[in-house]
Structure 1
Amino acid sequence: MLPSKLAISICCHFKEERLQYLEKMSIQFAGLASEVLVIVVSNTNQPGDLSQFDAVLRNKGFEYRFFTPDTLGHPLLLTWAHFPVFKELLADESFSHFMYLEDDTLITPINLGYWMEARESLKPYGLIPSFLRVENKAHDSAWYSSDCPHPFFVYGLPRVKVSNRLGFINFPELYQGMYLLDRELMLEHLHGQSYNPNFGRWGIQEKAAQGVTFLNVPKGFTTRNVIPYDLSSYQIDGRCFIHHLPNNYAQPVDGQKIIKTMPVQKLLRPWPTKVFLKPKNLRKILKEFIKLESIAASRTNKH
């Protein structure tokens, strides 16, 4: 199942060399919903620049528009310029879903199908399905994560079981460079604290992509966003992988700062990791465990 009508807002600081990523992304757009509207939020309104955007997007089976904010204040605030766009589109009740994207992240119909299915499974828990940004390296078929540069002890993190084989795990403050919200969640986002740039824990530019990550978080969890994984193999469900197209963290170019990355297939471990065993982390996790046990006990007593 896919959304009936999807609004996609893409933050694009115009750079000719980055149009290659928009080209790859836009090939997928028409297949993400029954009807798709794409809004390119850009820092330029120069006819020559807009014509290059137009050349990339035209004749691909979806409607598109361009939006350039009148008063930005600072270039980093372009990420926040999609808010008035979504607020206006929300008045049109035909839109069922809203997606904010950076201009270098590939989203596929498989990603959307996963999200739609998982959204229903997670509703009773107050949690939201998340995506995991991944990159690859030349001559290497493995996927790598820079947002999660070290392995996690499965039993040291908050998690829920939704079937005999599938669980969802809560990574600490996972950044995904985008958000996908249905109409209910978008109303919560635009009418809640997360609409305020002062809300949240990340930098001002990154906060624009947090959606409701830190809003109305269930007890025992650090955020509302969770990642799917196989309960027996401890492998993350590949349907949540979204490709960060530049691959610049897994494969930095000369002179670029080296960022630690981790093979995705090694991210979850059924035994304690070095990070988990650090005294300060053990104390924190023990407190969370006691909290979770207390919540579980109170729920049992009610029944």
Structure 2
Amino acid sequence: MMKPNSCSRNDINKTKILFCITFLYSHQRIKYLFEVLSAASEWGSEHIDCIIYTETNDQSSINSIYNICEKLVKKNFTISISNHQDLLSRPRNLSWCHKNKIRECFYDSKKNYTHFIYTEESTRITRLNIEYFIEFWDKLRPYGLLPGLVRYEYNDKEMDIFNIDQNGQQNISDKARVMAGDFEFVSLNVPYSGSFIIDSRDMNEYILSKSFSMKDSKEVIPWGRPERASMGLTWEKIPQFFPSRIVIPLKNNTTTPDPMSWVHHLPNSYTNDYNDGPNYILGKTRMSAIFQDIDQPLRAWRIASCFCLSTGEKIGLEKVAIIYDSVPYFREKPILVAADEKFINEIKLTNQRIEKEAYEFQDSVLFKLKDLFLFGPVLYPILNSKICILEESYRRNDRSFVNAPTFLELFNQKIYDEENLEGVQKIFIGSAGSLNYGHWITDDFPRLEAVYYIREIYPNHHIQIILNSFNPHLDKIKEEGIMIYLDKINNFSIKFLDNKILFNIKNIHYVTPVGFHPYIKYPSALRKLHHRITLNIHKNRSRLLFVSRQPPNTRYLVNHKEIEDILSFLGFDIVTINGNSFKEQVESFHSADIIVGCMGASMSNIVFCKKSTEIIMLAPEGWVEPYYWDLASVMNLNYSAIYGKVNDYSEPTHLRSYEIDTSILMKLVNEKLSSIQYNKK
């Protein structure tokens, strides 16, 4: 498969577009086709290949299409006709013919298209629409949303613009919104426009989705056949709180969709049809009246991302520094062993999908927020004079694990004000996984690097590090780790806040995430963590380590005693991490040549291992968890996993206790011992 074109999308002049139009031939509608083509010829793209799909078998009709096309063709704007006479008896299938062209062109690296656009012959897409899509595709990506289009017609009687796909007025107070640039984006009840645009970086997802298939798309939504052909990714991977993946921008301080998202349905037929028929309800809602009064209390979410907004004093958000860059990395194929070959194949397919998909994430950046409310790990900043929930603190993959009250619920609670002292710089370090030691290690701990940046900017200020408190033991472990990480920083303090109380904090720093659980991590962040923590750690003699997991823990190793005895005989040190200090854990992992361990939070300590350490992970069969393999890959460790038989299937997959076949474990351990030529001392 081709690698998506990496040219800049901020300049429409650098776009290369495949543009497909469905034209069920009608002599009366050729004028609309000409308007659509004429608008496309003025997009200003580097190159556009336009294909018109029609079903007519009449040569004079085909000639009439060629006649209008030849007037618009130029070097960087080609037009061709794809004739499907076989569909004369099945014209509703014509709208699906372009899918084969998508597959052909976006698997062909020579074409190098940046975008695909589809429309019907009567819906005009303008340069403004393309510029809007390019700008806000990037800004909406952190939310998992896509910029949509809204069809309109001109009503002769009312002398006004009417939307043709929404039936009646919609209650905006119940709709989740996101902030992007200077706009709020909101969903529509009917996210249909008879057209769609796809960035090439989303094309692989689209081709593999059910929405790409005429047959399978019926399982996605029961629309008509032509309507399903133009839905693109509307109904794929829908983010929580949204009815679809499509959102549209509102003009500032109004409920009217911004004109940059408008596309004209040229016949103006629905809005001017007052006959008692099925089309009567369409085109009867003014564009300015799709949504009710914007001053209604917002009962749903308003979500904002640090990366989707302008910055500045007025906005309430200041970009301070880039802490870590996000770069792709290579993952070695792991050694996987289980009795069930189907399960092993499932893991391999998951790993292959992770490897093939092109994940592009924002750098990890230090921001300063002027005013926010903090509830647990979730930030509610005041941005552009509006309260929001910060996307980076409440991401799609975190939402099922985090309690984040709605705005109305939030302010029914007592608010505790944190002191805003002069000469004190505050920074919050936390995430949805902060209550778990493993997630603290990989998701939160590396963000402490921002403290070094703050110290450089404010050399004489006190720095207060704010964290959520979950339990005394974990708090103590975190505090010990922070003191080691910041051994070159003076004049700072650590403050733990109750995670069930609402706090108001002014002028606080926040570092955006350094990964996306479970399979995206930032190598520069984890390697910096490894360097700072292990720099002054005492290196014990080379050792073999078994990290056991016993009752009453969930997911415990049923035959742990048998395995402990066998590995102890081979020279392994047997440890259970519970109760160990942070420094003791680091020393144990950093000194090891081979680590056999039960999959769990303590095994996140492999981030402190030396390069090429052998990792043998033990886990219950049925639990597909790429987190540890991914972590081992980032740290250049050799990763193997043995999956054991589960006796009780009543527990959730990731909590089941299991039994490891000792003969399989012994075979793998002996192979690793031979490979490192270990000499027992």
How far apart in 2 are the matches of 1:107 and 1:140? 24
Say which of 114, 120, 126 aligns to 2:132.
114
2:49 pairs with 1:37: yes
Say which of 62, 67, 78 aligns to 1:63.
78
- Structure 1 pair 70–135 and aligned structure 2 pair: CA distance change class (3 A): closer
Pairs within 5 Å for 1:108-147: 108-138=126-156, 140-147=158-165
Residue of structure 1 in register with 2:92 after alignment: 76
User: By how many angstroms is 1:20 displaced?
Assistant: 0.9
User: What SS class does the counterpart of residue 10 from structure 1 fall into?
Assistant: strand
2:113 pairs with 1:98: no
User: By how many angstroms is 1:146 displaced?
Assistant: 2.1
Say which of 234, 252, 262 aligns to 2:285.
262
User: By how many angstroms is 1:42 displaced?
Assistant: 0.7
2:29 pairs with 1:21: no
TM-score norm. by structure 1 comes to 0.85
Let me know the Cα RMSD of the aligned residues: 2.6
- Structure 1 pair 47–222 and aligned structure 2 pair: CA distance change class (3 A): same
User: By how many angstroms is 1:142 displaced?
Assistant: 2.2
User: What SS class does the counterpart of residue 257 from structure 2 fall into?
Assistant: coil
How far apart in 2 are the matches of 1:181 and 1:271? 30
The percentage of counterpart residues that share the same residue type is 23
Deviates more, 1:181-190 or 1:45-54: 45-54
2:254 pairs with 1:224: no
What one-letter code is carried by the residue in structure 1 that aligns with 2:137?
A: R
- Structure 1 pair 141–35 and aligned structure 2 pair: CA distance change class (3 A): farther
Does structure 1 conserve the Cα–Cα contact (< 8 Å) formed by 2:149 and 2:261?
A: yes
User: By how many angstroms is 1:301 displaced?
Assistant: 5.4
User: What SS class does the counterpart of residue 162 from structure 1 fall into?
Assistant: strand
2:61 pairs with 1:49: yes
How far apart in 2 are the matches of 1:301 and 1:85? 44
Residue of structure 2 in register with 1:248 after alignment: 269
Runs of 5+ unmatched residues, structure 1: 277-291
Query: Alpha-carbon deviations, 1:191-234, whole Å to 9, x = none?
Result: 22211223221112210011111011112211111010135222
2:179 pairs with 1:161: yes
User: By how many angstroms is 1:268 displaced?
Assistant: 1.8
How far apart in 2 are the matches of 1:215 and 1:194? 8
Runs of 5+ unmatched residues, structure 2: 1-10, 300-395, 406-429, 435-681
How far apart in 1 are the matches of 2:55 and 2:295? 46
Structure having greater relative contact order (Cα 8 Å, sep ≥ 6): 1
Does structure 2 conserve the Cα–Cα contact (< 8 Å) formed by 1:6 and 1:37?
A: yes
How far apart in 1 are the matches of 2:295 and 2:171? 5
- Structure 1 pair 254–68 and aligned structure 2 pair: CA distance change class (3 A): same
User: By how many angstroms is 1:69 displaced?
Assistant: 3.3
User: By how many angstroms is 1:45 displaced?
Assistant: 4.3
Does structure 1 conserve the Cα–Cα contact (< 8 Å) formed by 2:53 and 2:82?
A: yes
- Structure 1 pair 23–253 and aligned structure 2 pair: CA distance change class (3 A): farther
Say which of 179, 189, 210 aligns to 2:206.
189
Which protein shows a greater Rg?
A: 2
Query: Alpha-carbon deviations, 1:218-275, whole Å to 9, x = none?
Result: 12211111010135222211110000001111112778652341010111223699xx
TM-score norm. by structure 2 comes to 0.39
Query: Alpha-carbon deviations, 1:19-61, whole Å to 9, x = none?
Result: 0101111111122222111101110243322211111111313
User: What SS class does the counterpart of residue 152 from structure 1 fall into?
Assistant: coil
How far apart in 1 are the matches of 2:244 and 2:267? 27
Does structure 2 conserve the Cα–Cα contact (< 8 Å) formed by 1:173 and 1:222?
A: no
Residue of structure 1 in register with 2:366 after alignment: none
How far apart in 2 are the matches of 1:70 and 1:139? 40
How far apart in 2 are the matches of 1:46 and 1:90? 32
2:188 pairs with 1:171: yes
State the number of aligned residues.
285
What one-letter code is carried by the residue in structure 1 that aligns with 2:53?
A: V
How far apart in 1 are the matches of 2:180 and 2:156? 36
- Structure 1 pair 55–254 and aligned structure 2 pair: CA distance change class (3 A): farther
